[in-house]
Structure 1
Amino acid sequence: MDSLPFKLKGWSYDDLQDELNNIYNDAEPIPFEPESVFSESEDEDDQILLDQTTPALNFTDSDTDPEDNVPLSILATNLLPVPPVNSNDWSKLVEPVPPSNFTSESGIKPVVREMVDPTPYKLFKLFFNDGLLDHIVFQTNLYAQQSFSKQKLTEISEIKTFLGINLLMGIKRLPSYRDYWSTSPDINDAYISGLMPVKRFSWLLSNFHLNNNVLMPKKGEAHYDKLYKVRPLLIALAENFERCMAPSRELVIDESMIKFKGRSSLKQYMPKKPIKRGYKVWILANKNGYCQKFDIYIGKAEDAEKQLGARVIKQMLNGLENKEHIVYFDNFFNSTELLEDLKKKLIHACGTVNPSRKTLPVFKPDRKLKRGEFEVFSNPSRIVAFKWRDKRSVYLLSNFHSPFGTTEVNRKEKNGTTTKVRCPQALSDYNANMNFVDKFDQNLNLYKINRKSKKWWHRIFFYFLDAAVVNAFVLYKELHSPKISMKEFRRSVSQGLVADLVIKNKRKAYSCGETVAKKQFKPFIPLEIRHNQSSHQPERDSRRRCAKCSTSKQQVRTNWICSVCRVPLCLGANKTCFQDFHTFE
């Protein structure tokens, strides 16, 4: 026992061995580093390991001293040096390397800039091109045949008209799509109802399809895909979105929501968002509000859900390495490890961070910071961490901002006055650039197609139909001056989509020597006039369908009309339509 640095008294060999085993069994060993007896860990509490070069402790009965009664746990603890408070060394303020000049391609690509007369409809067709429309026509007809539908199969001009009608319904909103074909003239839409019969629109809505159900892999099989029903659309739009616009230097990654309250394993609940229930979509947006990339969140993966935010960021930024882009995102994604990894790829990033994240420095408590004061740290990797005190504390991480840069922002006081408050330059840049996805959402929600459906994927399809219009609108604004409103742009796209079918119907009517019949509406008479018994008298007129007893399956015609209501009504010995029409039911 000459190697022992101390003597233990009053302990037997068995007691000492048991006590030592208990201590070492409770400890969690970490890999040994020869330079130090400490090893940095990703956990909040640093793990401690004795230097493995220390000679092994061998106890014998002859080494015990009955006069020493100190517990072994205390003696062993005294051997271990106290670790530093912060093992990540958030101490010295080191200037990060600033971003270099941005020389990569950005903005509209030549495929768009070289277009002749880029109208709203032509720009929209860059995303919903004929190849995608032909695929929709084929899959819709295939599904109709699989369902043994007896209706006439569709064609590309009819599908385009169907899409154009839906875009127009986003501007002219009614409670139900059938209201556009209502026989009541106060809510009927003559333009939409004249483009397509309601039965045909309903048939297209029921049979509309994007992928073959017969070939869909079942859950548990290889290549199972929760988004199988919309996958062809997502692939086509992802390629077309990137083909038309190169990403700007400043980018934002944030989430967007597709409203859906039905049953679906993809549905998410986010109580703090304006849209609380629906599908979550990750968006990579340019400075002008253009959706550069997207990805629908399909729920927890079978492996681990840890580091979800980091995996989303790396996936969205794939292909943008070594190009000096500046990316902003919120505290759902941000962490020290992520910024260090992006820095190695020459991607500059900044964002708010959750203060409970591991490896963050120890900031002062809120009570020790006044409004406008902030605390800043940097680590050896040149990651800068800020805590700024406003009405609440804001935590920020950046891998390219200077820890010394400051600016002033305006803040309103309780009495309505405005005061200047000092804040880090990093936070000011974050607030100035973090609204790119909000621009996209704002344009999309102005006239979006907001129709309930039992088919879970219909909401996703119409969301991306609106997204294609928004991206085309951004392209149009970059190419044209003066600007037009989103409403006028959407109308122009809709008119371009329905033009083929309108021209086709006119040619058909002209070749037959006929005029297109105008839809006859069921008359709407205010009750005050209809039930005024004193002034209604029958008159003879041209033979027309009775407004009371005639139906679509059984037409009943009459020569009599009401002199006040001007509606055709049956009048005879066995017919009481005239009297019944003017009587309270």
Structure 2
Amino acid sequence: MTDRKRRLKDDSDLESGSDIQQEDFDSEDYEDWWLSCTTSSARISSSNSIADTSGGSSLHNAISDNKDWQIINDVHEDCSPEIRLFVADSGPVYCPNSSNPIDYFDQFFMPSDDSGVNLWHHILAETNKYREMLLKQPTTYPNAVIRQLGVVTLPQLKAFIGVTMNMGLVQMPSCESYWTKSYANLDVPFFASIFRASTYRSLSRVFHVANNDEAQPRCSLSYDPSHKFRSVLDHFNKAWKRNYNLGRTISIDEAIVNLKSRRSSVKYTKMKEQPEWSPKEYNLCDSVTGYCYHTKYHLTSGTYSESGHSYDVCADLMSSLHHKNHHLYVDSHYTSVKLCETFLEQGTYVTGTVEPNCKYLPSFMKEKLQRDEYKVAKKNELMAINWMANKPVLLLSTCSSAAPVEIKNKRGRKIVIPGVVDEYSKHMEGVALSDRLTNCYSAERKTIKRWKEIVFHLIDRTVTNAYLLYKHNPNRSRRTMNHYEFVTKLVLQLVGEYREPYRKAGQPSCSQLAVARLVERHFAETVADGKRKTCAVCSSGALVGKPRTRKVRTFCPDCSVGLCVPNCFRYYHTEHCVMYN
């Protein structure tokens, strides 16, 4: 992301789940935090992205009626429905026996099925194909840097990804700063030891993940705005699901890729510490660990079902997780009566904040209550809560209880809040936790190509998921690496032994020619086409003591240097010490 987030000093703040703990708030602070949650969730978006506030099928209109709600007079009564047991395994599916970060990272690049391909090989093939296409373009000059790059190899590609990831560990204002020699305090030898700056720019130029021959024109009905990164997105979504099983509590929320672009994929979202105009992504994450299970992007306005865009997002992300009795937590951007009822029929519980103008809510949801007062209503297994903090906090739930619970803040004071509020605050932070872990050492750089920003963002999420696999692996060593150590070792293992061959500009030095010029048989020849060369011995001043430039027509073809005949020629091929420049 272009605007770097300030790095947290201790990774333990990120890895312990949510960074918002109940004991950190007194009664007023807790209500203020809830106010910020509910107001920020009412995000400004496109008109088709509002959660079921205006649409709905006629069948659902008949089923969901305001008259069906039953007011619960005694809020202390436990009116939660009977909860079915969670019927799925949770945690890593397969973990290596080693503690090498590269082993966990490579698991997400393996073929997703028998007919699939290794993602490393796919990116390598598309990169070389795109390089060949650039070389054939008439706008590519004969002395272009990419002509010196050669065919990209797999170790070179992995080193390129590793060096790019290392930029997230070592913060610099620009990409050129990593190779600068102007200031000693900014010199980072690691980058120059792997690539020259021109080589890294060339690799960044030819880096590609999609076949341009398969792209459809923008005016076509089959045009896919995500074509440039679709293959990587689909591969990672399958790999994330293949390597980890979500726990019972999960959450859906949106995140922002920090990219400014006048494209159809750019949407307006009012969020703190994020650019307002950026591509919007929707993530499904584990509420406890922050593991990202599935992600999708809002690319075009498009056409949506009559249930609305937000409902379609949840239905798509949850398509493979129903009938396992998961408990899904969402905010008011997605929560609706239809979502709760439909998901309950499909074996998924839902809890989330809701907007007061959402359809089919009980009438008291729009009432202004006294401070700390709350009302509860039920319709079958669906429960609606209106709790007055500094401002109304409205929730829908098919799983939690509204009975009051007592908690302690950091000052030791006891405060009473609805039980559903306590549960929601504990389990809604899954996506936020994943974002904090991902953005802490993000490898994303400012680029003109927005798809590259998204690809490196997906790689960052894969690094985070690889770290979570390592962290929850029962077969790992006793000592656990923190997030920073894991990424650092992963960079070193991606780079491996690769080092770009050193090529010095200009003629080879005398030390490189010393053996050949003294032991081989050399004969003087005349320079072709009437051209002249500079005498190497005269320019060094080895014979006369004073350097001088002398152009001659004779040279040694084996040593490729100009020499006067016979004195300079004999001296150059017999003396061990020749000051040649």
Q: Same fold (TM over 0.5)?
A: yes
Q: How much does 1:472 deviate?
A: 0.6
In 1, Cα distance between the equivalents of 2:351 and 2:177?
Answer: 49
How far apart in 2 are the matches of 1:452 and 1:126?
28
- Aligned residue among 443, 454, 463 for 2:448: 454
What letter is aligned with 1:383? L
- State the alpha-carbon separation in 2 of the partners of residues 411 and 366 from structure 1: 29
Residues 491, 43 of structure 1: alpha-carbon distance in 2 compared, 3 angstrom cutoff: closer
Provide the C-alpha distance between the structure 1 equivalents of 2:498 and 2:308, rounded to a whole number of angstroms.
Answer: 51
Q: How far off is 1:230 after superposition?
A: 0.3
The 1:337/1:572 distance shift into structure 2, 3 A limit, reads same
8 Å CA contact retained: 1:88, 1:359: no
Corresponding pairs, count? 425
Query: What is the CA-CA distance between 1:315 and the residue it aligns to?
Result: 1.1
Q: After superposition, what is the alpha-carbon deviation per residue over 1:125-177, rounded to whole angstroms, capped at 9, x for unaligned?
A: 11134811111111111111111153312011100000000111101111111
Aligned to 1:125: 106
- Report the equivalent of 2:296: 295
Does 1:376 pair with 2:376?
A: yes
The answer (yes or no) to whether the contact 2:256–2:278 under 8 Å persists in 1 is yes
2:540–2:548: 8 Å Cα contact kept in structure 1?
A: no
Q: Partner residue of 1:489?
A: 486
Matches within 5 A, 1:166-185: 166-184=164-182, 185=184
Is the 8 Å Cα contact of residues 264 and 456 (structure 1) preserved in structure 2?
Answer: no
Q: Select 1:140's aligned residue among 127, 136, 139.
A: 127
Provide the residue aligned with 1:57 in structure 2.
Answer: none
Tell whether the 8 Å contact from 2:72 to 2:375 is kept in structure 1 after alignment: no
State whether structure 2 residue 230 is matched by structure 1 residue 231.
Answer: yes
Determine the C-alpha separation between the residues in 2 that align with 1:231 and 1:450: 18
Q: State the partner residue of 1:329.
A: 330
CA contact (8 A) 1:178 1:198 kept: yes
Question: 2:304, 2:312 within 8 Å by CA — same for their partners in 1?
Answer: no
Task: Report the AA paired with residue 86 of structure 2.
Answer: F
Runs of at least 5 residues in structure 1 that lack an aligned partner in the other structure: 1-41, 48-84, 509-513, 518-557, 561-570, 575-585
Q: Does 1:89 align with 2:69?
A: yes
Flag the 1:559–1:256 CA change in 2: closer, same or farther, 3 A: farther
- The one-letter amino acid of 1:244's match is N
| Per-residue CA distance 1:534-556 (angstroms, 9 max, x = gap) | xxxxxxxxxxxxxxxxxxxxxxx
Q: What value does the CA root-mean-square deviation take over the aligned residues?
A: 3.0
Q: Distance in 1 between matches of 2:264 and 2:223?
A: 14
Q: Equivalents in 2 of 1:411, 1:388: separation in Å?
A: 19
SS at match of 1:223: coil
Superposition deviation, residue 319 in structure 1:
1.7
Structure 1 residues 117 and 418, CA, compared in 2 at 3 Å: closer, same or farther?
Answer: closer
For structure 2, list consecutive stretches of 5 or more residues without a partner in the other structure: 1-52, 59-64, 111-116, 136-145, 504-508, 513-538, 550-581
Partner residue in 2 for 1:278 = 278
Equivalent of residue 438 in structure 1, options 432, 445, 463: 432
Pick the structure with greater CA Rg. 1
Which residue identity lines up with residue 175 of structure 2 in the other structure?
Y
CA distance in 2, matches of 1:390, 1:419: 17
Secondary structure of the residue that 1:233 maps to in structure 2?
A: helix
Q: Name 1:247's counterpart in structure 2.
A: 246
Q: Contact 1:107–1:246 at 8 Å: present in 2 too? A: yes
Q: Alpha carbons of 1:302 and 1:86: their partners in 2 closer, same or farther (altered >3 Å)?
A: closer
Cα deviation, 1:453-503, whole Å, max 9, x if unaligned, reads 11111110111111111001111111244322211111111001000414x
Distance 2:365 2:161 in 1: 57
- Give the structure 2 partner of residue 161 of structure 1: 159
Secondary structure in structure 1 of the residue aligned to 2:147? coil
TM-superposition CA deviations, 1:512-567 (whole Å, max 9, x none): xx9xx9xxxxxxxxxxxxxxxxxxxxxxxxxxxxxxxxxxxxxxxx999xxxxxxx
Closer/same/farther in 2, CA of residues 43 and 196 from structure 1, 3 Å limit: closer
What is residue 256 of structure 2 aligned with on the other side? 257
- 1:103 match: secondary structure: coil
Q: Does 1:477 align with 2:476?
A: no
Deviations 1:29-80 (A, max 9, x none): xxxxxxxxxxxxx989xx9xxxxxxxxxxxxxxxxxxxxxxxxxxxxxxxxx
Partner of 1:389: 388
Task: Indicate the percent of aligned positions where both proteins have the same amino acid.
Answer: 24
Superimposed CA distance per residue, residues 288-329 of structure 1 (whole angstroms, 9 cap, x where no aligned partner): 111011111113223568521111111111121211111111
Q: Report if aligned partners of 1:374, 1:423 keep a CA contact under 8 Å in 2.
A: no
Q: 2:130 touches 2:208 (CA, 8 Å); kept in 1?
A: yes
Query: In the alignment, residue 236 of structure 1 is paired with which amino acid?
Result: H
| 2:498 paired residue number | 501
One-letter amino acid of the counterpart of residue 277, structure 2: R
Question: Aligned residue for 1:29?
Answer: none
Q: Determine if contact 1:373/1:422 at 8 Å carries over to the other structure.
A: no
Secondary structure in structure 1 of the residue aligned to 2:240: helix
The answer to whether residue 181 in structure 2 is matched with residue 191 in structure 1 is: no
Q: C-alpha offsets along residues 190-227 of structure 1, whole Å, 9 cap, x if unaligned?
A: 11111011111000111110111122011243532110
Residue in 2 that maps onto 1:107: 91
Deviation of 1:244 after TM superposition, in Å, equals 0.7
User: What secondary structure sits across from 2:381 in the alignment?
Assistant: coil
Cα distance change, pair 301–292 in 1 and its aligned pair in 2 (3 A): same
Matches within 5 A, 1:58-73: none
User: CA 1:230–1:393 in 2, change beyond 3 Å: closer, same or farther?
Assistant: same
Say whether the 8 Å CA contact 1:164–1:497 is kept in structure 2.
yes
Could you tell me how far apart the structure 2 residues matched to 1:228 and 1:156 are? 23
Relative to 1, partners in 2 of residues 1:363 and 1:410: Cα closer, same or farther, differing over 3 Å? farther
Q: Which residue number in structure 2 is paired with residue 62 of structure 1?
A: none
> What amino acid does structure 2 have at the position aligned with 1:121?
I
1:98-134 deviation digits (Å, cap 9, x = unpaired): 222223111111x32xx23141111011113481111
Quick one: distance in 1 between partners of 2:465 and 2:459?
10
Amino acid at match of 1:239: K
User: CA 1:160 to 1:345, structure 2 compared with 1: closer, same or farther past 3 Å?
Assistant: same
Q: For residues 427-456 of structure 1, give each alpha carbon's deviation from its aligned partner in whole angstroms, at most 9, with x where no partner exists.
A: 110001111111111111111124111111
Deviates more, 1:99-108 or 1:337-346: 99-108
TM-score with structure 1 length normalisation?
0.68
The residue type equivalent to 1:97 in the other structure is P
| Higher-RCO chain (CA-CA 8 Å, sequence separation at least 6) | 2
- CA distance in structure 1 between the partners assigned to 2:547 and 2:356 by the alignment: 85
**8 Å CA contact retained: 1:378, 1:384:** yes
SS at match of 1:274: coil
Superposed displacement of residue 418, structure 1: 6.9
| AA in 1 matched with 2:81 | V
Counterpart of 1:427 (choices 421, 424, 444) is 421
